[in-house]
Structure 1
Amino acid sequence: MKKAITLFLCLLGYGVVFAQVPTRINIKGTAIDSSNSVMPFATVMLLTPKDSTLVNFGRTDEKGAFEFRNVKNIGYLLKISSVGYLPLQQDVKPSDKAINDLGNLKLKPIAQELMEVVIRTAKAPLSIKGDTIEYNAASFKVPPGSTVEDLLRKLPGVQIDQEGNIKAQGQDVKKVTVDGKQFFGTDPKLATKNLPAEAITKIQVFNDKTEQSKVTGIDDGKKEKTMNLELKESFKKGGFGKVTVAGGTDQRGEFKGNYNKFDSKQQFAFIGNLNNTNQGGISWDDYQDFKGSSAFNWGDDADFGFSSGRRFIYFGEEDEGVSISPSGGGNRNRGFSTNGSAGLNYNYDTKKTKFTSSYYYNQSRTVLDSYAFRKTFLQNNESFDTRDSSNRVNFSGNHRVNLRFQKELDSLNTLIVISNSRFTDANNSYGSTQNYLRNSLLSSTTDIDNNGAKNSFGTVNSAIYRHKFKKKGRSFALSAGYNMNQADANARQISLNNFYNSTTVNEAIKNIRQLNNTNSITNQYKASALFVEPLSKKFFLETFYNTSLQISTVNRNVDSIFVKDEKETYGVVNELSRAYNNEIRYNRIGTSLRYSYKGLNLAGGLAWQHYLLKGEFINNKLTQAKGIVSRNFSAFAPNVSLNYDLKNNRYLYSEYNVSIQEPSVRDLQPIVDNSNPRYISEGNPNLLPQVTNSVSFGFNKFDPATFINLYTGFSYDTYKNQVIYNQTIDENLITRTKPVNITGGWSTGPYFGFGFPLKKTKATMNLNGNMFFSKNLTYINSVLNNTNNDNYNISMRLDLTPSDVFTFYGSASFGISNTKYSINTAQNQQVFNNNFGGEMNVKFPKGIYFNTKFNYRVYKNDRFGFDQKIPLMNMSVYKIVGKAQKAEIRFTAYDIFKRNLGVTQSASQNYVSQEQIQTLSRYFMLSFTYNMRGVKAQMRKRNSWD
């Protein structure tokens, strides 16, 4: 009995003692150096002793103090690092107190100890050096065979959306480099989607200088978020890459692969893809840089001077401009496409010579079967409906070559040569049955059977010479450029139009059988000069001059097709044929004064620019001149900008500018286009350049200790001589459009973003939103229509990465668009576009992995009874096989609910439209992937020590 009582009292005593030990505690301390001075802004991390997994992190404050609050009362490994000091590593044992004060923790300078001892420390998952964050890739586990994109999803402060776009510290990542070198131009996705995660040792995120500040040597305060991928040394020896082969139901298949070989001076990469699963080679956004549009970035396009004061030229895929734009790329929600692509990238980089090059070919054949509904609003609360069932078959093949050469001639002189070229071969067919209804009664019908082909060539070239004088800050730059675009297109247009209860329709409109051949060529010659003079250490004067000459020649020949005894004969249609020559001469001279000191950049400038538009057109090349166009336009373009680095990763920026955009060559051509006889367009040779006044400001903040990021901003634009398209709709519902100038339109809106960790390294929440309000003007049958659009959008994203066994990424976006019309208020409407998505990854025993993606789209417009809900789900399970862990077998089910449908709806100007396109639905795929280097090293358990 006494023994039982004694045992009971002992257990009770242990229980009381155990109950007094807290389960969660605060850990704090102070970082000092060898002279006992405090060390502000040092990086502090809590790691698990077993495998160095990151538990929490932060930075010391201005007094060198740090504190981790409400952490589990277990053993930890504490690591403190700072530039110029040896990392401090210390075991932290469980504490019997609520606050575990580690006291002063002393770091030793590298200069004293580096040659005396060998330090064995736990690998630091990340380090913070000013505005640069460096991640140790080995500290963030991803499934075998993962790409860099998968690895980035695990990094604190980095977000990847469903399209693969990257945000870091709340800002868009504009450029991804590999070992500091460009990879297929500056397109981030080509690196993140193709390079294996196992090849990367470090990821650095930092704010890079703009091209302008690199040329002038003056910090303009503008930053470009950049990410650098540092390769493991083992991957710089020999090549690496992988190949995937897949086959599935409904005769679906895919082949893709990549191969890379890098060293300290050279990079070589190959990527390829072939499929009939709607997986396009590269989309429009993916190609913004690689396709050659990087030639239009400041410094590359060689148009010196403050940005936005220069008029913007969009070199489109049409005949009117110099084009380096894509014609391919698949969309999984639009039609059925077969796609192929292949690309080569080669870089050579030394201290004085940098050469980057890439070649890319992509082709796509797409079949689109669609049904579209459109309601067009007229004056006096009238309207008519269009119902269109159509079939399109489009093919496009594109070759692109991009070259950039930079040579440091000596310490003061640099030469840069850039050349981007594109060749496109395309053909298409279009068949459509259209019904036009007024007051629910059939008014007319149109049957269209068109086909055509086009090939085009474009090249954009510039050379930049820059010289730095011995006087610090003084520099001079000179550039020259030549751009060219040539196109040859032909089309066969057949349409049969029936108009009921109408006797006023021209017979030429009722039955159209035409051949249309258009040849065009545009040449542009340009030059720029820039001189920078330092007035003092803080003030700089920048003077610039730009000039260009653009010459466009268009020959458009239209023939009528006559069929007799099953034979075709042709006759020229003079009223539709045109030969057109156009010249646009442009000159701009300006100066700006910049103040740059301690992060504050304030600049104000004024430019004078002059346009001379000259043109001559005739009915066809065999007749004499019929019309001449001659327009002069001059304007002053001011620019004021403020960029302020408030330190500690806080940035404030604001800008006011006036931009001027001349009309496109197509809009200037007095050519009638009746390829769709129900929508006939004609150019206007009397157009004036459009003037846009823009005001914007914003604020960004990122706290590297808490990984909380915040950004907010606002913009306001007004338009003078805005180019809009007047519409004249006759009693037969034939719409004729013509571009004209109008003043009074505007657009404005605020935006914000807020990201914060719910639990560091485990869960992150990001909230984003914007509002956009605009006023658009157009004339409908000579009556001015004001269309006001109010758009509200908010989105949120939750990233859960608790372990390498389970991850979840969820997102939701809500969009509301209110549209109001002045000429037909009864048709005012509200459109909802909502999207919900999620992705889950689970690791099961024996190396089996499971992935599922779910997307739920909601389209709603109560005014017209449109309510579409589309749930989409894909699932896959895969396993790494083989002793060398080099192969993967994966089974994937696409669109399990068989609900995939391409749906779009929009409201603009005087109409609302809805379109549904049949697209690739449920199918199953089995794939085999072979990794040339294997993936075993990626998944091995990390040691706690280097």
Structure 2
Amino acid sequence: MVKTIASITFFFLFLTFNVAYSQDIEIKGAVYTEDGIALNGSILQIINQQDSIIHTFGRTDKEGKFSFLAPVDTGQFFLIAIYPKHTDVFIPFHVDDTFSGRDFGTIELPLNSVFLEEVVITAKGLMSVNGDTLEYNIGALKFEPNARIEDIINDLPGMQITRGGQIYSHGQIIERVLVDGEPFFGNDPTLVTKNIRADMVDKIQVYDDISENEKITGIVDSDRRKTIDVKLKEDKKSGMFGSAEGGYLNNYYNNVVMLNTFRGNRKIFGYGALSNTGKLGVGYKNMVANGSALGNQFDSSTGKFLGEGTPKVYSGGLSYSNIWNRKKLNTSVSISGMNVEGTKDIYELIDPDVNPLSNTRNTDFQRKSHNQSFRINYENEVASKIYLDLQVNHSKQTGFIYQDSYLKRIADNVVAVHSNQVNNSNGDDFTTSLNANWSKELSKKGRRISIGISPELKSSKMDNQIILETNNLGEENADHLEIAKQKLDYKINSNLVYSEPVFNGSLINSFENKNHSVSNAVNTTSNNLAYEDRFSGDHRYSYIENKLKSIYRRSIDKFSGEIGTAISFDRSLLKDIDTQISLKNDFIFFQPLVNLRYNISSTHRLEFRYSKNNIAPTLLQVQPITYSDDFINMYSGNKYLEPESVSKFYFNYYNFKLNKLRALNSEFEFNVKNNAVGYNINTLSEGNLISPVNIKKNIYSYTFHTTYGKEISKKKDYLWLPLDMKKELSYSYINSIENRIISTFIDLRPSFAFIKRGGIRFGLAAGPSYERIKYSENTDFNYEGFGIKGTGNVDIDLPLKFQLKQNFNYLYKPKYTFSNTSLNQLLWDASLTKLFGKNDNFTLELSVNDLLNKNTGLQRVYGNTGFTESRYSTIKRYFLLTIKFDINKMKG
């Protein structure tokens, strides 16, 4: 097999160095007014007529001239010339195998004869569709002087933005937000929506953008991301703008500052946030992107902290970006940190039919973390394309946990084990990663080669001191443990991709090598020798994947598709360093792929996808060391664990009617897992030992999501009807006894967005949720019930530039047999604001969080091994007095 792989690699390298290089095929011309005046800075775009995907764009120079490379693919295209207050010009042209470039000569842009000033634009005039790009003409709308992009989105028909910054377009989730086609400090949409001023925006475009991999390699694939592109006005790209706010009252504080400077394509952006209110408005999604575990504790729909306890959070960053001569540079540095403390009570039931057990845990905790991140991204696209992306992250963590646990036998109401555990931990993580890629168009149109390498290195250290007192059926023990963990995680991925035009389509052949190696040493010292043996070990785990892949892609009229397969030769190796005993496994996987799409029109389509992939076990799953975070519920890996196989079937139907402002989006996904990883609980006398196992039966899940949206009045009021359904079959094991679990979830939440009238704007989204859990063995866990979820907002303009804003969040969960508790919770937030200043650039705000003081931390999990209910401390009612200042030094 090694010889075969080496031969194939040599073949690809031979192609790399022996295929003749192409001459750049150029498109050029000049843009003038009808009076013959050169239009400096005019935007030129080339888009595909079939799918409206932007292939390239550029600007004219001082003489109105432009030139850039022609599209790689064959087909029908538009050259679009755009300049403020002039009519856009579309010029169609065709690219085939004989295309050798084109000089468009002089392109004249007529001056618009009518301009709309301070008038209300109806939805039909506000929106337009070009291919599959939905465009909102923002430049003609009028907003408050200090309005932001989030205020724009709330007024656009079919658009919706949650308080946490998640954006929806006609029921579809927006995955990426760009500014003038470029990322804005990572992928945190709140840094765009809460920062950029409404009066700077000319247009907002919504479209399916190409994947990040296609942008890097230049080789077409079928992955698309729903994207918003905020186009700024040409005369608003020079100067400085930002905002600052400071809030404090009764030991609660929330402070945010953002500052931007623009000079053409050169942008500098900085922000900082300091808060203990749980409402970190910006930056938390970048925490996740930078490898921190902080960001995922914030809710995307509300922006609130949903984790356990009360947080103190800080976050800040500085970004610089520039574009020149077909080169792009993006750099950023950021810091973030969190200090969380609180209490948590857990009630858990484990298999009441086979061996009835209950586990009650009362916990006090404190966690601190500090994260630093640096990133530099560089692109150079001249004769060939070079892409470099370097990221460096450093994180430190400290933690304190006091836990009082009881493991009780339900049948005789006897406490089997009682433990008091105190954990003090210190951790230090360092990660560096590089993504480097070179690609080039070769002698024949559509023939392209790409070579990439992506190394990543992560080192982790963790020291843990544990004081443990246990009482096991009258036998008392006191133990002290010191645990030192040192982990080195190394990955290096490389790929070679070659695209060749074949039969009016493209044949893409690739070779990928993924090498993942982890070494983990755990050294435990204790007065209990049994603990030293159980909690110590030194292992190295390697997983190597060599994949050969071939895909054929073609478009015929309204139909496009790709079909292909991959064969993957995988090897896993687990080595015990102390005993020098190794366990090696070899696998061969076939991974077919089918993607089909039928475009009935540019806004009406059907799509089907099928893929089969394999997921390798992690070191945590295979390393046979017991982990000691909880001595009643201990965890140990399974060295015999094998990869699981996942087959996915996906269907999508999308239909959008601009003239009726109606959208229907339906998605259905069916997943089948073979050899899936599940868990087995062994109920021992000293506690429970949890280990992963391969499930030898197929498990499956169905997911259905549909959204219907429609304008319901001439005022642009909008209705959404979202329906979510999921059904899943899985298995778990307790003392090796199989337990089948079938779960069903249904959520219906109609949503109404009412545009402001008479100084009042409000919205409402509420509906029922249904849950059903059915177990084959522990049938006492079976559950069926209805709950209610709802959100709402009311904004009222008052005299003297006062404004009252209110947000409501309602949640009802019924009682459960074992916990006999329900949740009936209404959260009511309100704020009163007053505008000051010549341009209303000062705002004074008095706000209250959880006016009724009803916030309760509650989480229920109907898991594979039983039922768990957690109640934890969280942020309740507080008042805040905030002053905000809007900075605007933009030219124009």
* Shared fold, TM over 0.5: yes
1:515-569 Cα deviation digits (max 9, x unpaired): 11000111112210111111132x221111001222211111001159xxxxxxx
> Does residue 428 of structure 1 match 2:399?
yes
Go from structure 1 to structure 2 and tell me whether the alpha carbon gap of 1:803 and 1:281 turns closer, same or farther (over 3 Å shift): closer
Alignment check: 8 A CA contact 1:291 1:326 kept: no
Match of 1:258 in 2: 258
SS at 1:471 equivalent: coil
Match of 1:248 in 2: 249
Alignment check: 8 A CA contact 2:558 2:598 kept: yes
Could you tell which deviates more after superposition, 151-160 or 740-749? 740-749
Match of 2:574 in 1: 615
Distance 1:159 1:830 in 2: 32
Matches within 5 A, 1:192-203: 192-203=193-204
Matches within 5 A, 1:493-508: 493-500=466-473
Distance 2:710 2:153 in 1: 17
Alignment check: 8 A CA contact 1:127 1:134 kept: yes
Go from structure 1 to structure 2 and tell me whether the alpha carbon gap of 1:572 and 1:232 turns closer, same or farther (over 3 Å shift): same
Match of 1:745 in 2: 699
Go from structure 1 to structure 2 and tell me whether the alpha carbon gap of 1:639 and 1:542 turns closer, same or farther (over 3 Å shift): same
> Does residue 414 of structure 1 match 2:368?
no
Structure 2: gaps spanning 5 or more residues: 1-85, 91-105, 120-124, 299-303
- Give 1:140 shift: 4.6
Alignment check: 8 A CA contact 2:89 2:109 kept: no
Distance 2:454 2:871 in 1: 44
Could you tell which deviates more after superposition, 697-706 or 731-740? 731-740
- Give 1:840 shift: 1.1
Match of 2:342 in 1: 368
> Does residue 458 of structure 1 match 2:457?
no
Match of 1:928 in 2: 883
Matches within 5 A, 1:116-265: 118-120=113-115, 125-214=126-215, 220=221, 222-233=223-234, 235-249=236-250, 251-265=251-265
TM-score calculated relative to the size of structure 1 = 0.78
Could you tell which deviates more after superposition, 426-435 or 233-242? 233-242
> Does residue 291 of structure 1 match 2:294?
no
Match of 1:39 in 2: none
Aligned partner of 2:827 among 872, 875, 878: 872
Alignment check: 8 A CA contact 1:724 1:742 kept: no
Alignment check: 8 A CA contact 2:631 2:687 kept: no
Alignment check: 8 A CA contact 2:308 2:344 kept: no
Distance 1:116 1:892 in 2: 48
- Give 1:328 shift: 7.0
- Give 1:738 shift: 4.2
Go from structure 1 to structure 2 and tell me whether the alpha carbon gap of 1:481 and 1:888 turns closer, same or farther (over 3 Å shift): same
Match of 2:503 in 1: 536
1:463-482 Cα deviation digits (max 9, x unpaired): 11111123221111111111
Go from structure 1 to structure 2 and tell me whether the alpha carbon gap of 1:351 and 1:173 turns closer, same or farther (over 3 Å shift): farther
TM-score calculated relative to the size of structure 2 = 0.82
**AA in 2 matched with 1:256:** V
Aligned partner of 2:327 among 345, 353, 360: 353
- Give 1:167 shift: 1.2
- Give 1:232 shift: 3.6
Aligned partner of 2:413 among 417, 427, 441: 441
SS at 1:150 equivalent: helix
Distance 2:663 2:217 in 1: 31
Alignment check: 8 A CA contact 2:398 2:424 kept: yes
**AA in 2 matched with 1:445:** H
Alignment check: 8 A CA contact 2:165 2:189 kept: no
Aligned partner of 2:557 among 580, 598, 607: 598
**AA in 1 matched with 2:762:** F
Alignment check: 8 A CA contact 1:855 1:873 kept: yes
Alignment check: 8 A CA contact 2:681 2:688 kept: no
Q: CA RMSD in A?
A: 2.9
**AA in 1 matched with 2:519:** T
Go from structure 1 to structure 2 and tell me whether the alpha carbon gap of 1:214 and 1:882 turns closer, same or farther (over 3 Å shift): closer
Match of 2:512 in 1: 546
Distance 2:282 2:108 in 1: 51
Match of 1:306 in 2: none
1:440-464 Cα deviation digits (max 9, x unpaired): 7241322111110101011221111
Match of 2:742 in 1: 788
Distance 1:576 1:731 in 2: 18
SS at 2:761 equivalent: strand
Match of 1:754 in 2: 708
SS at 2:496 equivalent: strand
Matches within 5 A, 1:381-400: 382-400=355-373
Match of 1:13 in 2: none
Alignment check: 8 A CA contact 1:365 1:393 kept: yes
**AA in 1 matched with 2:524:** V
Higher RCO (CA-CA < 8 Å; seq separation 6+) = 1
> Does residue 806 of structure 1 match 2:806?
no
- Give 1:740 shift: 3.9
- Give 1:117 shift: 8.5
Equivalenced residue count is 780
- Give 1:395 shift: 0.6
Aligned partner of 2:872 among 900, 917, 924: 917
Go from structure 1 to structure 2 and tell me whether the alpha carbon gap of 1:519 and 1:804 turns closer, same or farther (over 3 Å shift): farther
- Give 1:428 shift: 0.6
SS at 1:826 equivalent: helix
Alignment check: 8 A CA contact 1:679 1:737 kept: no
SS at 1:191 equivalent: helix
Matches within 5 A, 1:450-849: 450-500=423-473, 510-537=477-504, 539-560=505-526, 573-618=532-577, 624-625=578-579, 627-731=581-685, 733-803=687-757, 805-849=759-803
1:599-632 Cα deviation digits (max 9, x unpaired): 42221111110111112114xxxxx525312111
Alignment check: 8 A CA contact 2:399 2:425 kept: yes
- Give 1:782 shift: 1.5
SS at 1:187 equivalent: coil
Could you tell which deviates more after superposition, 730-739 or 782-791? 730-739
Distance 2:141 2:846 in 1: 26
1:673-730 Cα deviation digits (max 9, x unpaired): 1331111211122211111111111111111222211111211111111111211113
Alignment check: 8 A CA contact 2:559 2:599 kept: yes
- Give 1:854 shift: 1.1
> Does residue 906 of structure 1 match 2:877?
no
- Give 1:758 shift: 0.8
**AA in 2 matched with 1:258:** M
- Give 1:378 shift: 4.3
Alignment check: 8 A CA contact 1:819 1:830 kept: yes
1:646-687 Cα deviation digits (max 9, x unpaired): 213012111111110110011111111133111121112221
Distance 1:82 1:813 in 2: 46
Distance 1:521 1:112 in 2: 59
SS at 1:334 equivalent: coil
Greater CA radius of gyration, 1 or 2? 1
Alignment check: 8 A CA contact 1:333 1:900 kept: no
- Give 1:235 shift: 3.7
- Give 1:571 shift: 11
Go from structure 1 to structure 2 and tell me whether the alpha carbon gap of 1:213 and 1:705 turns closer, same or farther (over 3 Å shift): farther
**AA in 1 matched with 2:278:** N
Match of 1:25 in 2: none
SS at 1:633 equivalent: strand
Go from structure 1 to structure 2 and tell me whether the alpha carbon gap of 1:511 and 1:769 turns closer, same or farther (over 3 Å shift): farther
Percent identity at matched positions?
21
SS at 1:149 equivalent: helix
Go from structure 1 to structure 2 and tell me whether the alpha carbon gap of 1:596 and 1:130 turns closer, same or farther (over 3 Å shift): closer
